Amino acid sequence: MTHALIVIDMQNDFCPGGALAVAGGDVIVPGINALMREFDIVVLTQDWHPLGHSSFASSHPGKAPFETTDMPYGTQVLWPDHCVQGSHGAAFHPGLETDPAMLIQRKGMNPDLDSYSAFFENDQSTPTGLEGWLRTRGIDSLTLVGLATDFCVAWSALDAARLGFGVTVRRDLCRAIDLDGSLAVAETQMTHAGVTLA
């Protein structure tokens, strides 16, 4: 079994003080740094949106952050502007050790399409290429940590399980947005998909 660690979206905008702050998002940084030392293969993901991205409420007149809208690919939650390419908010948390990462997988760059998962954009069909990257290295088992448990971590875990990877989510090294019970829904979905919640 060849195992990789995927660190999801440990960026300033998802940490306290950021545009889409997740409570306690920064608290998990030391634990993630320590866990990275136990893995030979570490991948970081980085939410990386162009200005005016369609997932931003500001791109939809009359809409406020955390409302939803119908996109061609389904219902999309609208977020505050966050993780704009090249901005301070899009940078990794300054305490995160990025040197151990072999790959930084950026996502959410298509202006018309959001991308929570590290594997597919939110249309559930446009691949990021990460699956091939992992498989060509013989990796069949993944541990996921990072932000946010109920969005980018959960969508990545569900896609990975569907693709046939063994998946463990270290809940102690994740934090959730928890919008209208989204954390409980995500945990139920992950359990049903065979993801180990550790």
Q: Which residues are catalytic?
A: 9, 107, 152
Report the SS3 class of residue 33.
helix
CB of 59 to ligand VGL, least distance (A): 13
Neighbours of 33 (CB within 10 A): 16
148 lies in the binding site for ligand VGL (CB under 6 A): yes
Residue 20 backbone phi and psi in degrees, to 5: -135, 60
Q: Which of 119, 120, 151, 165 binds ligand VGL (CB under 6 A)?
A: 151
Q: Contacts with Zn ion: how many residues (CB under 5 A)? A: 2
Residue 35 vs 77, nearer CB to ligand VGL: 77
Binding mask 13-52 for ligand VGL (x = CB under 6 A): -x--------------------------------x-----
- Residue ranges binding ligand VGL (CB under 6 A): 9, 14, 47, 79, 116, 147-148, 151-152
